[in-house]
């Protein structure tokens, strides 16, 4: 199965192109962006050597759905999704921080806590907590926005404001939006028998308006637990069943790769690639509650994407 790992388009009024870890983003004039969710996959801030068929479609369609379901909370950048792998929207000036919202002590926060930390990004964490335990209420633990190949870095609210990365008034608004979006995501997840554990949000500005940008509530940006088994597994101190791309990280770590200098990415066999693809489709169906409809992967896939984008741009 062919995976779409890079695109080389040249659209009318195109003024730039940015290649992220997963997305190819084309600037159209000063006002619009075309975001193509490729089938690239990253872990530990490293883009892996093989793409995952249908991953781009999965991420784009989940994000598109959740942007629509949260647009009453905060304006978002999406105008339309003219292709299964594409969203077209407003071009914003992104804030240089990502807003991470955590409802449970798990993942990197648990590793830091187990190592003795009792503060994450300036937020105090009480003694005596266990892995996967819920916080009294969700907390915001922002990070800096890293360039490709670099790691995001934890940063506190106070540091963000002191360094002038975001003004205090705007930071307060970003935090308010992030917590409201997380509350909505939690409600939707509960309807699917899931727990939204943690996630990240990115925001930008166009004129005087703050917009939610990039993806939202996807398995690449979020972690979900299964609600039905959570309490029993927590009480027994067992690992939680979860929906996220954590399974990819676990496979890499089992094969001695965690993004450290000198480490080599393990071989991605066709069997591994296909199993990851199937897992992403499973994630889509659990998170959305709908069946995944595979877009056609033929020799004309690039022509399809380009035609759908051009037709959309002609309507702007």
Stretches in the chain below the pLDDT threshold 70: 1, 146-151
Q: Which helix (H) or strand (E) holds 37?
A: strand 32-37
Q: What distance lies between CA 137 and its chain's CA centroid?
A: 22
- 3-state DSSP helix/strand/coil % of the chain, to nearest 5: 35, 25, 40
Q: What distance lies between CA 75 and its chain's CA centroid?
A: 18
Q: 10 Å Cβ neighbour count for 19?
A: 14
Domain-located, residue 108:
yes
Q: DSSP label at 146?
A: P
Domain-located, residue 168:
yes
CA–CA dist 23, 119 (Å, integer): 33
Task: Sort 21 into a burial class: Cβ within 10 Å, 0-12 / 13-18 / 19+.
Answer: middle
List 104's β-bridge partners, or say none. Answer: 134
> What pLDDT sits at residue 243?
81
CA–CA dist 279, 276 (Å, integer): 5
194-217 pLDDT, tens digit per residue, is 999 999 999 999 999 999 999 999
Looking only at the bridges linking them, the beta strands covering 143-144 and 134-140 are unpaired
Domain-located, residue 122:
yes
Which of 92, 64, 88 has the alpha carbon at shortest distance from 305? 88
Domain-located, residue 50:
no
Residue 110 dihedral angles phi and psi, to the nearest 5° = -65, -40
Task: Sort 309 into a burial class: Cβ within 10 Å, 0-12 / 13-18 / 19+.
Answer: buried
Domain-located, residue 78:
no
Domain-located, residue 101:
yes
Residue 281: how many CA atoms within 13 Å on its side-chain side?
Answer: 14
- Domain count of the chain? 1
Rg (CA), the chain: 19
Terminal C-alpha separation, the chain: 34
Report the CATH number that the domain containing residue 112 is assigned in CATH.
Answer: 3.30.470.20
Residue range(s) defining the domain that contains residue 202: 94-243
**Token pair of 190 as six digits:** 């509960």
> What pLDDT sits at residue 44?
87
Domain-located, residue 200:
yes
Domain-located, residue 282:
no
């Amino acid at each position: 199965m062919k995976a779409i790992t890079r695109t080389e388009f040249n659209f009318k009024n195109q003024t730039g192109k940015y290649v992220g870890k997963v997305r190819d983003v084309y600037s159209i004039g000063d006002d619009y962006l075309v975001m193509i969710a490729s089938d690239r996959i990253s872990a530990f801030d490293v883009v892996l050597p093989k793409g995952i068929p249908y991953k781009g479609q999965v991420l784009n369609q989940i994000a598109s759905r959740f942007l629509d379901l949260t647009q009453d909370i905060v304006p978002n950048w999406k105008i339309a999704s003219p292709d299964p792998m594409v969203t077209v929207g407003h071009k914003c000036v992104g804030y240089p921080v990502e807003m991470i919202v955590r409802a449970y002590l798990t993942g990197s926060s648990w590793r830091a806590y187990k190592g003795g930390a009792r503060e994450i990004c300036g937020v105090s964490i009480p003694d005596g907590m266990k892995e996967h335990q819920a916080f009294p209420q969700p907390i915001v633990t922002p990070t800096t926005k890293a360039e490709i190949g670099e790691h995001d870095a934890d940063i506190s609210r106070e540091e963000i404001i002191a360094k002038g990365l975001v003004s205090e008034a705007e930071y307060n608004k970003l935090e308010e939006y992030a917590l409201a979006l997380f509350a909505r995501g939690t409600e939707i997840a509960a309807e699917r028998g899931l727990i939204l554990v943690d996630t990240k949000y990115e925001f930008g500005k166009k004129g005087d308006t703050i917009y939610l940008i990039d993806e939202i509530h996807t398995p690449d940006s979020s972690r979900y637990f299964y609600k039905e088994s959570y309490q029993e597994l927590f009480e027994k101190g067992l690992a939680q069943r979860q929906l996220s791309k954590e399974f990819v990280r676990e496979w890499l770590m089992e094969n001695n790769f965690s993004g450290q200098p000198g480490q080599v990415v393990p071989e991605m066999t066709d069997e591994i690639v296909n199993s990851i693809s199937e897992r992403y489709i499973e994630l889509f169906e659990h998170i959305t509650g709908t069946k995944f409809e595979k877009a056609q992967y033929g020799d004309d896939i690039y022509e399809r994407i380009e035609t759908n984008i051009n037709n959309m741009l002609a309507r702007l």
